[in-house]
Amino acid sequence: MALNLFDLRGKRALITGSSQGIGFALAEGLKAAGADIVLNGRDAAKLKDAAARIEGADQLAFDATDHDAVRAAVDAYEAAGKAIDILVNNAGMQHRAPLEDFPADAFERLLQTNIASVFHVGQAVARHMIARGRGKIINIASVQTALARPSIAPYTATKGAVGNLTKGMATDWAKHGLNCNAIAPGYFDTPLNAALVADPTFSAWLEKRTPAGRWGKVEELQGACIFLASDASSFVNGHILYVDGGITASL
């Protein structure tokens, strides 16, 4: 049956930044499709709480911006006989300020958290996937991979880079049996967007601007993630899948 293509039983998925928000929702979706889950985060207490809400979930604590720490954690986990079949690079942050006043230290944090982490974790995990001749890497991009808004130019730059790094991963690693793709969420009600959700003026603008007429729900990203993590996407590579209520399709 065609539905069997989406079955993730026997697969193990590592999701970075998965103690809350989109990362946790994606972990729940992959679990529902049969995958074993490995949660990641820097806050040990939040990570422990998240793991308690997903039956059988492992915790792999490391700072995704620290190349050496990432490599050590991934290599040790793999050496324990726990192969990572699916990687979701979800760790990310936001900082809003007019570009002319944007703090240099905030810009550097955005670069490290939103794009360097994708390189660090992607490379560490891919080395093991390449040796096995198979693997799925899903990077979390953004509607800002294609669009821009005032006060978030550096964030837009990092998410544009995630889109192109995804294409680069596919170009280098597809020949080794890896599928490397990205999900680009539109505006979702998450902790990262809490200030915008609480702003009635912005919410009214967003509902008018988005063809679907509303904020997205994090659960609505699960289907895209399951598709890209499964055999159903076996010939999909270097693709950026926008899940945005139509916002990138409409002026």
Length of the chain: 251
Handedness of CA 20, 155, 87, 35 (dihedral sign): positive
Q: Cα dihedral angle (248, 223, 28, 10), rounded to 10 degrees?
A: -140
Q: What are phi and psi of 64, to 5 degrees?
A: -65, -10
H runs (alpha helix) in 135-234: 153-173, 194-197, 200-209, 222-229
122's enclosing H/E stretch is: helix 117-132
**Cα-trace Rg, the chain:** 17
Q: For residue 129, which of 142, 117, 138, 140 has the smallest C-alpha distance?
A: 138
Please name every residue paired with 178 in a beta bridge, in sequence order, or none if there are none: 135
Q: Running DSSP on this structure, what letter comes out for residue 215?
A: P
Please give the positions annotated as active site: 155
